[in-house]
Chains A and B, each alone.
Chain A
Amino acid sequence: MGFEADVRARLEVDAKEIIARYPRSRSALLPLLHLMQAEEGFVSPAGIELCAELLDLATAEVAAVATFYTMYKRRPNGEYSVGVCTNTLCAVLGGDQIFATLKEHLGIGHDETTEDGKVTLEHLECNAACDYAPVMMVNWEFFDDQTPQSATQLVDDLRAGREVHPTRGPRLCTFKQVSRVLAGFPDGLANEGPAAGPATLLGLVIARQQEQTDSDDPAPPGARRTSSADAGSGTGYGRDGGPSESDAPATTAQADPANETPVRDSEKGTDA
């Protein structure tokens, strides 16, 4: 039932490193459970036993923790965890329709996995990206401004093995790979993907335009406000055209030589 000797030896080396980060060993339990998922794709009874052994806890104590947190899976997870936010704001803006579409398209329900083992579908609670609603997460990477069509395309691409890029993140990794990052082992992808999406930058873009307008043309406040609002629409934010290569806030970036347009991950690829 337990791990093979070589696997166990490898996990023990990683575990030692995790435990050393904390003044008290039990604090290592959450990252250790992420490490078990990195190995097996879920927290198995063997994983629980190993954690208990490493931290000198009862298996019941470890199981009590593992079952409290929703990110720990008790059954083998698909290669891709596909989550749709159905908390109020995303649900109202279309998350409910997206989730219903995916259930029908994939023929599975919440917390179920497609037969090919590729996709586990879940509905999620708020994932802190409400200005990009409706939001989906795949293996805990952001897929902003989704529609039923884009969501269907996304899961088809995942199942066909086509390369998929999150809106704000690096090239997509597998569930096991991201679980290792969650355990605290960097994967070297921090420099991939953009700094921010257009909604994150909206206030800053407008502030820079206000500065520009203030210095170029001291127009009355009313006029200034209008020009700010107009220029703001030039961010190409997803609501105006959907996430695409033209989404970058080009207006400000070009106006200010010091500002480089945040490069979308789809355009990036090489400079990671």
Chain B
Amino acid sequence: MSTRTPPLTPVLSRLWDQDRSWTREVYERFDGYQGLRRALTKAPDEIVQLVKDSELRGRGGAGFPTGNKWGFIPQGGDKPVYLVVNADESEPGTCKDIPLMMANPHELVEGVIIASYAIRAKHAFIYVRGEVVHVLRRLQNAVQEAYDAGYLGGDILGSGYGLEVTVHAGAGAYICGEETALLDSLEGRRGQPRLRPPFPAIAGLYASPTVINNVETIASVPSIVRNGPDWFASLGTHDEDPRKRSKGFTLYSLSGHVTRPGQFEAPMGVTLRELLQLAGGVREGHELKFWTPGGSSTPLLTAEHLDVPLSYEGVAAAGSMLGTKALQVFDETTCVVRAVLRWTEFYAHESCGKCTPCREGTFWLVQILRRLENGEGSDEDLEKLLDISDNILGRSFCALGDGATSPITSSIQYFRDEYVAHYEQGGCPFDPTAATVFAAAGTSAGARAR
């Protein structure tokens, strides 16, 4: 077991415990909008370079280098440039952007202004999922406060640079977290992904050059401008090869069968073992069975991966993906077949229907998994699951299809025996009530009494 004190680096979360932390007044007491003031003294290209130097990578799942994405925007053309913030947080297990925007939406708004200035956008959109109305209120309020203070509008702080920000509420569709589906949705259409190329940097919103970034990515920008790229790059994992290192801090979200679930802002590369120490461990009297490193679309990991560094390269080397750093922890009371079935039902429900492998494939995956969970499956069913997954992975229009196969293939890799036990015993060997939080009080004295 590690003897290192688990490091925590509250940057984005530094003022979340303040009274009325969501207001401009409180944010300004914590250096709010100082990054913007500094950014406006530099040329836009200098800001792009600064973000490149920081090695900030996307925090929404894919991990693309943020500065490079900004640098792809062609400048000097006759089309307007847009910034779109992906605030459609819906990946199962992911719960970082929503509390961030509820507690301190100004960090995001300041990041939006700096990013827009850097890519020379005059209009930015924050596309927030509709199912979180109080987060929407806080965003609307923050944007209004920013206009009132002269941080938004035609001439920001006398710089001559102007920006409009529109907060846009979605209407319930997981697929709109996929960036090109989000663009179609923002254009008033069904949210379906687009064929690439052209990439959004060339033809995005209204076929204009567009940068799409996740909330946490954009909210990280003000601190980088305030403290410099070297400060940011001093945190995280280190390697000579830039592709083998992950810089900065990030929000890790622990949920599930842990004593105290919650948000932990730590340097890139912390391990689940370290985070579990902070969270009081797996719930009392139980042990870790499987976990997701970054939402349900990232292949499952097990107790043997407790010391995997939670960095882009670290989790990739373990055969999964860092994703959204949504660490969903399940103990030995959880039936993995039931868990995977439920995720698969989710993907089938949320498949937009545009491409055949995903639309048809997820439908059949659900049928077979239901049969297996009911104890009516067979060896052939397991092979069929893998075969269908193989035909979805890499053959779908977007990453939703790929994500749908992750829990299936990884769970069969690690827990094939449990699938087999279902049809050998003719039913599920687990008692679902034992896995609930309200059952815990009865099974282990003192823990989780409710």
Contact = CB atoms under 8 A, between A and B. Distances in A.
Interface of A: 21-24, 26-31, 33-34, 55, 64-65, 68-72, 86-89, 91-94, 96-97, 124-134, 137, 139-142, 145, 147-148, 166, 168-170, 178, 181-184, 186-187, 189-191, 193, 195-208, 210, 221-222, 224-225, 228-229, 232-233, 235, 237, 239-242, 249, 252-253, 258-263
Contacts of B257: 93
User: Which of A128, A196, A197, A228 has the most C-beta atoms of chain B within 10 angstroms of its own C-beta?
Assistant: A128
Given A128-B97, A229-B278, A89 B256 contact: yes
A31 B350 contact: no
Nearest to A207: B8
B62 interface: no
Contact of B3 (A70, A193, A196, A221): A221
A198 B104 CA distance: 15
A92 B330 contact: yes
A130 B94 contact: yes
A205 B17 contact: yes
A72 to B, nearest CB: 6
A28 B188 contact: yes
A242 B440 CA distance: 13
Interface string B10-21: 100110111111
Interface string B287-318: 00000000010000000000000000000000
Contacts, number: 316
Contacts of A258: 18
Given A130-B94, A181-B136, A202-B262, A88 B279 contact: no
B188 A199 contact: no
Interface residues of B, number: 102
A121 to B, nearest CB: 16
B131 interface: yes
Contacts of A94: 436-439
B345 to A, nearest CB: 9
Interface stretch (B35-43, B63-71, B163-171, B371-379): B163-171
15 contacts: A26-B189, A68-B190, A69-B172, A71-B130, A86-B342, A88-B346, A97-B436, A184-B140, A190-B141, A195-B20, A200-B16, A221-B3, A237-B262, A252-B17, A260-B18
A135 to B, nearest CB: 9
B130 A22 contact: no
Contacts of B130: 34, 71, 140, 182
A131 to B, nearest CB: 4
A187 B353 CA distance: 36
Contacts of A68: 173, 190-191, 352
Contacts of A260: 18-19
The 7 closest A-B pairs by CB, nearest first: A202-B262, A29-B188, A69-B171, A190-B141, A203-B264, A260-B19, A130-B255
A69 B260 contact: no
Contacts of B334: 92
Interface stretch (B85-93, B216-224, B390-398): B85-93
A34 B167 CA distance: 14
A171 B90 CA distance: 25
Contact of B279 (A27, A96, A202): A202
A197 B134 CA distance: 13
Nearest to A239: B448
Contacts of B266: 203
A166 B137 CA distance: 14
A23 B140 CA distance: 19
Contact of A27 (B80, B172, B188, B190): B188
A84 to B, nearest CB: 13
Given A29-B188, A89-B328, A232-B278, A186 B169 contact: no
B297 to A, nearest CB: 11
User: Which of B103, B104, B350, B432 has the most C-beta atoms of chain A within 10 angstroms of its own C-beta?
Assistant: B103
A139 B134 CA distance: 10
Contacts of A88: 92, 296, 328, 339, 342-343, 346
Nearest to A226: B277
Contacts of A207: 8-10, 265
Contact of A196 (B14, B102, B186, B450): B102
Contacts of B328: 88-89, 130
B261 interface: yes
Interface in B386-413: none
Contacts of B166: 21-22
Nearest to A125: B346
B169 A30 contact: yes
Given A131-B262, A182-B130, A239-B448, A201 B16 contact: yes
A134 B437 contact: yes
A72 B21 CA distance: 32
A27 B182 CA distance: 12
Contact of B185 (A30, A139, A232): A30
Contact of B13 (A129, A189, A203): A203
B206 interface: yes
Given A34-B169, A127-B131, A133-B256, A239 B3 contact: no
Contacts of B196: none
B23 interface: yes
B167 A195 contact: no
A196 B437 CA distance: 22
Contacts of A189: 134, 137
B212 interface: no
B6 interface: yes
B315 to A, nearest CB: 18
Nearest to B21: A195
A129 B131 CA distance: 11
Given A69-B191, A190-B138, A195-B20, 5 more contacts: A68-B191, A88-B296, A88-B339, A202-B261, A228-B5
Nearest to A262: B17
Contacts of B190: 64-65, 68
B102 A133 contact: no
A130 B261 contact: yes
Contacts of A221: 3-5
User: Which of A31, A70, A196 has the most C-beta atoms of chain B within 10 angstroms of its own C-beta?
Assistant: A196
User: Which of A133, A166, A169, A190 has the most C-beta atoms of chain B within 10 angstroms of its own C-beta?
Assistant: A190
A199 B263 contact: yes
A91 B4 contact: no
B20 A191 contact: yes
